Amino acid sequence: MKQNLSTFEAIISVVTSMFGIGIMFTPYSFSQSGPLVGGLILLGVQVLTIISMAGLLFCSKQYNKKLEEAMRKKLERTNNYLIGLGYTPTQEELERVEPIPDNQVVSYSRLVLQFNPFVSRVIEVLIPLGGIATCLFYQKYICVLATTLLGYNEKNEDFYYVYAEMIGLSSFYLYFLSQIEDLARLKYVSFISVLCMSTVGVFIMVLNFLMGNFIKQHSPNENKGDMAFVIGNFIFALFCQNNTVNLFTKLTDITSKSLLIISISSTIISGTIYFTVGFMGSRLFGEHMVKKDIMSIFADSKSPINVILDQEYSLYLLYIPKILCVLAIVVLSGSFPLQLSPVTVSLSSLGILSNFKRRTKTFIITTLLFALIVGLNLIPNIGLDVVISLISSLSCNFLAFLFPFGIVIYYFGKKHQYVVTTSLLIMLSSTIYAVFSVFSTFSGIINQDTPAMLSNETETIIQN
């Protein structure tokens, strides 16, 4: 990210950060909730995202204002002391403004540090945990797509074993990528990601116009009701609050108008894209949306939509989904070290393994994190939906809504009572949703009689 961002560049940066893998799960969310309810839920998450983003930006501005005021008073005391000793400071010395020290530059956790060091530490821990969970999700998604592209879907008896082999294979090259110290080499990943996601959206809209008869044959989806996942996916898709404060430090224009424009415009643009892809995708796949992401459907050569493309349409249309899946794997692979590196840096700063040199310590921490991620990814019952539900409810949800509105109360609650009331209601709702989502997720795992990846095949064997 550039060091000096205009308002327009900041909007593009935020939209780019929002425009990620979450779009793959949006059609399923609309399939589960219906277009009207899904649209209303997405709108609600958008409104809360706008408020929390704006709140963090305004709190960052207030933090800098307080810090600069404290530094100015300190400088005045120094000048008064020098005057008392008989030294007369020059006009330049009286008017100079000291730069903010690196250890006091505004960050997410430092916004909280002034009034609650414990919560500040929780945030410092929660952000790396979210990064670990995201890495776990990326590797799992890579392996699921690769296994499906090889012709093994979840109904195959050997699916899990091929998936486990993909875990081993992907671990080698992901581990190698994670050893890259200069992450600037991966700067093109974000551009490829935007290209891939944009192409997916355009391709779905094109298929909506071409496959009218296929869409008309859909029967209503009667398996609706996975509302915890629906809400969580929209939170996950629009989540960017962990980078909002960092964005503030790079803005050239920090006027209230500019901060509001960034919050509102970026969220509306991203939300509109997600609504379009979600609605069009649910309309296209209909009752065939048995999997929770569209890439797995595109990767499966036996999925109904690929069968129709093979039988009735050009081969070019059949190859496009496969190419998109390969692009998605490339994007996920490049994004993996970008997520893991901040976690490694954060854990290194805690003082663990202090007897080792920096490179050795980084190597050890990266290796341990990899062992944890690979071990969890080999557990059959932890599917993509489980990982994304836990990320959205425990990491994204708290960092997007619970903590930001608590920070807003501290900075603006004394002067505005309605700010306190509204923020407390949102924080309570965030906590209730987290409990509901975690309970729903683990209930689904416990109620599975067999590993998720083998359940379909096992049922077939039992019936025979």
pLDDT of residue 456: 44
Q: What contacts 31, CB < 8 A, 6 or more positions away?
A: 221, 224, 281, 282, 285, 286, 289
Rounded CA-CA distance 445/75 in Å is 60
If we measure between CA atoms, which residue out of 370, 36, 417 comes closest to residue 230?
36
CA atoms within 13 A on the CB side of 460: 8
If we measure between CA atoms, which residue out of 434, 437, 426 comes closest to residue 126?
434
Look-up of token digits 């998720």: 452
Q: What is the largest CA-CA distance in the chain?
A: 99
Low-confidence ranges of the chain (pLDDT < 70): 1-3, 71, 74-104, 181-187, 218-225, 287-288, 290-291, 350-354, 448-464
Q: How many CB atoms lie within 10 A of CB 326?
A: 15
What 8-state DSSP symbol labels residue 48? H
Q: Using an 8 Å Cβ cutoff, are 421 and 409 in contact?
A: no
If we measure between CA atoms, which residue out of 339, 436, 425 comes closest to residue 139?
339
Fold classified for 7-222+237-463? Amino acid/polyamine transporter I (1.20.1740)
DSSP-derived 3-state class of residue 5: strand
pTM for this prediction: 0.84
DSSP for 213-264? HHHHTPPP------HHHHHHHHHHHH--HHHHHHHHTTBS---HHHHHHHHH
Q: Using an 8 Å Cβ cutoff, are 152 and 159 in contact?
A: yes
**Sequence letter at residue 113:** L
pLDDT of residue 455: 43
Question: What pLDDT, in 10s, does the model give residues 31-74?
Answer: 888 888 999 999 999 999 999 999 999 999 988 888 877 767 76
If we measure between CA atoms, which residue out of 237, 301, 287, 311 comes closest to residue 17?
237
Q: Counting beta carbons within 10 angstroms of the beta carbon of residue 136, is it exposed (0 to 12), middle (13 to 18) or buried (19 or more)?
A: buried
pLDDT of residue 417: 84
Rounded CA-CA distance 46/53 in Å is 10
